[in-house]
Amino acid sequence: MQFEKGYLYHIYNQGNNQRNIFFNTENHLFFLKKIKKFISPYADIIAWCLMPNHFHLMVLVREEKIPVFESNTVTQSHGVTKTRTFNDSIGIMLRSYTRAINKQENFTGKLFREKTKAECINCPEGPTPSFIGSKINIQNTEAQYPQVCFDYIHQNPVKAKLVDKETDWEFSSAKDYANIRNGKLVNKTVAFEYINYK
């Protein structure tokens, strides 16, 4: 994955062999804490949705890499400050979550597919809307694609027939935009620069 500061990205991955990655409410909440810890330092979160076997994030990248402090646990000596990329942070988040779920479910091996996808939504060369297929005809991609991606993320549970309307799904940012919940993960101020919520 290649990220550039100042651009919107749709980040997503699913369970290896399409198996579930969330098994109870605590798993969802744990993953949201991981998002806050590993994604928020690099990006403003515009939209998110956690489905039983996959997740979606729409983010505006603020930083491609940041300094992180790591202590030396082997020698118990003073820590050092290293630079960690956004890409590395996503990998750490998914590996950390995988370890916890493998322990909880008595699994071994990979929980997620090998490669996490990150598609630029508003890059100058144009978006790569492969996740929505060729059925949608977008005339002005730079202006319209952020809205299409935002709507797509929130409509996932409806299209999967898990709920009747997007605000019925507990594990997405749709409730925050509908002012049903006052979630702290999304940055609505930044989001409204790119999308309209009906």
The string of pLDDT tens digits covering residues 9-32 is 999 999 999 999 999 999 999 999
Question: Is residue 184 predicted with pLDDT exceeding 90?
Answer: yes
143-180 pLDDT tens trace: 688 999 999 999 999 999 999 999 999 999 999 999 99
- Taking the model in full, what pTM does it have? 0.88
Which stretch of 40-49, 65-74, 86-95, 165-174 has the lowest confidence by average pLDDT?
65-74
What does the pLDDT read at residue 87? 96
Class of domain 8-191: alpha beta
What percentage of the chain exceeds 70 in pLDDT? 86
CA 114 to chain CA mean position, Å:
16
Q: Are strands 77-85 and 43-51 parallel, antiparallel or unpaired?
A: unpaired
Domain coordinates in residue numbering, the chain: 8-191
